[in-house]
Amino acid sequence: MKLATYLDRDLRAPRVGLVTDEGLHPFAVRHSMRSLIAGGRDVLDRAADHARAAAAIDLAEVELLAPLEPASVRDFVAFEEHVEGVRRSVDGVSGVPDAWYDAPTFYFTNPHAILGPGAEVPFPAACAARDFELEVAAVVGAEGRSVPPEEAGAYVFGYTILNDWSARDLQGREMQVGLGPAKGKDFASTLGPWIVTADELEPHRDEDGFLDLLCTVSVNGVEVGRDRLSNVGWTFETMIAYASRDSCVVAGDVLGSGTVGNGGCLAELWGRHGSQEPKPLQPGDVVTLEVEGIGTLTNTVGVAPPAPELPPVRRRDGAARAAARDVSR
C-alpha cells in the first residue's frame, strides 16, 4: 500500500488517504498515520478496505503533507562514498574514519521541523552553502528494545523518501566543537510523497538482502546524482537493531539511510572536485528526489528571515575559572 497524508480542505486538517491507480481514497477521520502504524497490519488492512469503498480524489487536486509526524528521526551515515566525499568537503580530511566500519552511526535530527512535498524549505539566512541530501527512510512499526538483527525485519512498517537539507557552512563551523551537526541540519527535513508499506518493496531485495532501488536527484530538471540503495553499508534491519541497542525504537520512528553516493548531495561533489562545483543551491531552485518503487519528492529552496543575534560569549581567564571552582568562598 501507499499511504499519504493530505490537507482535507473541508475539515481544514490533515487526513490520511490510500493512494491507488484511481487516486486518493480517504481513511476514516479517526485515523492518523501514527495510529495506523501503531495499530498493526490487521487494523491497517481493515481501514484500507473501508477507504477503497470511498470515491477516489484526483491526486492532482490534493495538497500532500509530510506523511507522518515522526516520534523521532535518526539519520544514519551508511554510504561509504558519501562519507569520504563530505568529510573532505566539510572537515578537510581525506578517507573514511576507521570507526565508521564498526557500526551504522547516526545522529538525531529535529522531528518538529518536518516538511512535506512541495513545501518551500527555509534555509537559515546566514547560510550560503545550501545543500540537499538524497536518502531513503524506514518507518518503524512497533516498539522494541535491543532488537536482534534477524528479527528486525518485523519492525519495518514501510519506507519513504527523506531529504536531509544541510547548511554546510554552518555545519562545518559548529562541528569543530566535536559534536554532530546541530543548526547545520536543525531547520528542515522533508519526507514524502507517501509511505510505501514494506511488503511492496520486498521484490526489490538483492541476493544479499539489500533493497536494490535506483535513487536520483535533480536540480531545476538537471540530474546531479544517482546511486543504488543497495550500495549502502548496512540494511535497515541492522540499523534498527543498532538504534534499539541498549535503548528502544517505537512505532512512528523514522530511520534515514544516510545520503547515497555518486552525487547524492553537493558536498560530496565539492569534496571530490576541491571547489564548490556544482554551485550551492540558490533561492528558487527546485530539487527533486526520485526513488524507484516509492516515488518523487520535490521542494523549492527558500530563505528564512534573519534570526536575532546572540549575546557574545562570556570569556574568563584562568584565574577567574579557578575562582569559580572554589565553591567554599
C-beta separation of 54 from 18 below 8 A: no
- Segment among 30-39, 227-236, 257-266, 308-317 with least mean pLDDT: 308-317
Domain boundary among 34, 65, 96: 65
**Residue 112 maps to a domain:** yes
**In this predicted structure, what is the pLDDT of residue 112?**
97
Q: Could you tell me if residue 23 is left (phi over 0), alpha (psi between -120 and 50 degrees) or otherwise beta?
A: left
What is the chain's mean pLDDT, rounded?
Answer: 94
Q: Output 279 or 54, whichever has higher pLDDT.
A: 279
In a domain, 180, yes or no: yes
pTM of the model: 0.95
Residue 91 shares a structural domain with residue 190:
yes
Reported confidence tier of residue 14, pLDDT bands at 50, 70, 90: very high
Strand, helix or coil at 31? coil
Q: Which domain holds residue 225?
A: 73-303
| Whether residue 44 sits in one domain with residue 111 | no
Least confident of 66-70, 101-105, 179-183, 188-192: 179-183
* pLDDT the model gives residue 88: 77
pLDDT tens across 205-250, in order?
A: 999 999 999 999 999 999 999 999 999 999 999 999 999 999 999 9
Q: Do 128 and 53 have their domain in common?
A: no
For residue 190, give the nearest of 217, 157, 171, 169 by alpha carbon.
Answer: 217
CATH number of the domain enclosing 296: 3.90.850.10
Count of domains in the chain?
2
In this structure, are 182 and 229 located in the same domain? yes
Structural domain contains residue 187: yes
Q: Do the domain assignments include residue 327?
A: no
The residue to which cell 519492525 is assigned: 155
Residue 20 grid coordinates: 491507488
Residues 79 and 28 reside in one and the same domain: no
297 within 8 A of 117, measured Cβ to Cβ: yes
Cell numbers placing 317? 581567564
Query: What is the C-alpha separation between 169 and 130, in angstroms, rounded?
Result: 8
| Assigned domain for 328 exists | no
Give the Cα separation of 261 and 99 in Å (integer).
19
Instruction: Give the pLDDT score at 328.
Output: 57
23 and 149 housed in the same domain:
no
CA-based nearest residue to 79, from 196, 189, 193, 215: 215
Q: Is residue 315 part of a domain?
A: no
Question: What is the pLDDT averaged over residues 128-154?
Answer: 98
- 317 within a domain of the structure (yes/no): no
Task: Let me know if 274 is exposed, middle or buried by CB neighbors in 10 A (0-12, 13-18, 19+).
Answer: exposed
Residues 135, 265 share a domain: yes
Tell me what the mean pLDDT of segment 291-314 comes to.
97
- Of the candidates 112, 113, 162, the one whose C-alpha atom is nearest the C-alpha of residue 134 is 162
Asked if 33 and 83 sit in the same domain, the reply is: no
Residue 329 has pLDDT above 60, yes or no: no
| Whether residues 82 and 35 fall in one domain | no
**Residue 72: all three cell numbers together:** 523521532
Buried-state track 140-179, b at ≥16 Cβ within 10 A, e below 16: bbbbbeebeeeebeebbbbbbbbbbbbbbbbbbebeeeee
Residues 47 and 166 in one domain: no
CA distance 103 to 78: 9
Q: Which residue among 48, 65, 82 closes a domain?
A: 65
Residue 327 has pLDDT above 70, yes or no: no
Q: What band does 269 get if pLDDT is binned at 50, 70 and 90?
A: very high
**Domain termination site, one of 12, 47, 65:** 65
pLDDT band at 160 (very low <50, low <70, confident <90, very high): very high
Grade residue 12 by pLDDT with cuts at 50, 70 and 90.
very high
At 54 the pLDDT is: 87
83 and 228 belong to one structural domain: yes
Residues 14 and 82 in one domain: no
Model confidence at 108: pLDDT above 90? yes
d(CA 323, CA 313): 19
Q: What confidence category does residue 254 fall into, taking pLDDT thresholds of 50, 70 and 90?
A: very high
Is residue 175 included in any domain, yes or no?
yes
Nine cell digits for residue 44: 491497517
Answer yes or no: is pLDDT of 184 > 70: yes
When pLDDT is averaged across residues 260-285 and rounded to a whole number, the result is 95
